[in-house]
Amino acid sequence: MMNTPRTAAFRNRCQRLLETAISRASVWAPMLLVLVPSQRAAAAALPEERGDTLFHIYDGGGQTVLGPAVLVRKNFAEKFSLSAGYYVDEISGASIDVVTNASPYHEERREAGVGGQYLYRDTLLGFNYTNSIENDFKASTFDFSISQDFFNNTTTLSLGYSKGNDKITRVDSPEFSATANRANYSVSVTQVINPTLLGTLSYELSADDGYLQNPYRSARVLGAALPEIYPGTRTGQAFATKLVKSWSSRFSTRIEGRYYRDTWGIKAFNVGIGASWYVYRNWILDGGYRFYSQKAATFYSDNFQRPQNFLARDKELATYQDHTVNAKLTVPLITQKHGFLNHVDAGVSFEYLLLDYKNFTDLRNGKPYSFGAAIGQFFLTAYY
Partner 1 sequence: MPLPSTAAPRRCHRTVVLGIVAGVLLSGCSSFGYRPVQPYEREALASPLMALSRDPISDKHLQHVFETREGARGATGNTGGGCGCN
**Distance separating alpha carbons of residues 41 and 39, to the nearest angstrom:** 6
The single residue among 117, 130, 301, 361 that binds partner 1, judged by CB under 8 A, is 130
The single residue among 118, 137, 291, 352 that binds partner 1, judged by CB under 8 A, is 137
DSSP conformation letters of 59-88? EETTEEEEEEEEEEEEEETTTEEEEEEEEE
The residue (of 119 and 296) whose beta carbon lies closer to partner 1 is: 296
Do 126 and 114 form a contact (C-beta atoms < 8 A)?
no
The single residue among 212, 266, 311, 382 that binds partner 1, judged by CB under 8 A, is 266
The single residue among 45, 46, 85, 372 that binds partner 1, judged by CB under 8 A, is 85
Q: Does 284 bind partner 1 (CB under 8 A)?
A: yes
Q: At its nearest, how many Å lie between partner 1 and the CB of residue 54?
A: 5
What is the size of the binding site for partner 1 (CB under 8 A)? 112
Nearest CA among 214, 118, 235 for reference residue 171: 214
Q: At its nearest, how many Å lie between partner 1 and the CB of residue 342?
A: 14
The residue (of 4 and 249) whose beta carbon lies closer to partner 1 is: 249
Using CB under 8 A, which of the segments 3-11, 301-309, 356-364, 376-384 binds partner 1?
376-384
Using CB under 8 A, which of the segments 1-9, 84-92, 222-230, 303-311 binds partner 1?
84-92
Which residues from 291-310 bind partner 1, rule CB under 8 A? 292, 294, 297
Which residues from 42-81 bind partner 1, rule CB under 8 A? 42, 52, 54, 56, 58, 65, 69-71
Q: Residues near 337 by Cβ (< 8 Å), separated by ≥ 6?
A: 343
Which residues from 233-262 bind partner 1, rule CB under 8 A? 236-240, 242, 244, 246, 249-252, 258, 260, 262
3-state SS assignment for residue 236: strand
CA 107, 93, 380: angle at the middle one, nearest 5? 70
The residue (of 109 and 220) whose beta carbon lies closer to partner 1 is: 109
The single residue among 278, 291, 310, 384 that binds partner 1, judged by CB under 8 A, is 278
The single residue among 81, 96, 182, 382 that binds partner 1, judged by CB under 8 A, is 182
Q: Does 38 bind partner 1 (CB under 8 A)?
A: yes
Tell me the C-alpha to C-alpha distance, in Å, between residue 140 and each of 67, 144, 163, 166, 185.
20, 14, 8, 7, 17
Using CB under 8 A, which of the segments 2-10, 106-114, 222-230, 356-364 binds partner 1?
106-114
Nearest CA among 355, 363, 256, 352 for reference residue 57: 352
In this structure, the strands spanning 137-150 and 283-295 are unpaired
Q: Counting beta carbons within 10 angstroms of the beta carbon of residue 369, is it exposed (0 to 12), middle (13 to 18) or buried (19 or more)? A: buried
The residue (of 75 and 191) whose beta carbon lies closer to partner 1 is: 191
Phi, psi for residue 3 in degrees, rounded to 5: -95, 80
Which residues from 343-362 bind partner 1, rule CB under 8 A? 347, 349, 351, 353, 355
Do 369 and 362 form a contact (C-beta atoms < 8 A)?
yes
Q: Does 153 bind partner 1 (CB under 8 A)?
A: yes
Residue type, 379: F
Which residues from 196-225 bind partner 1, rule CB under 8 A? 196, 198, 200-206, 214-216
Q: At its nearest, how many Å lie between partner 1 and the CB of residue 6?
A: 28
Q: At its nearest, how many Å lie between partner 1 and the CB of residue 223?
A: 25
The residue (of 117 and 186) whose beta carbon lies closer to partner 1 is: 186
Give the torsion sign (CA, 258, 237, 132, 103): positive
Tell me the C-alpha to C-alpha distance, in Å, between residue 310 and each of 213, 297, 313.
11, 11, 10
Partners of 60 in the beta sheet? 63, 373
Q: Where are the beta strands (DSSP E) in 134-172?
A: 137-150, 155-170
The residue (of 119 and 240) whose beta carbon lies closer to partner 1 is: 240
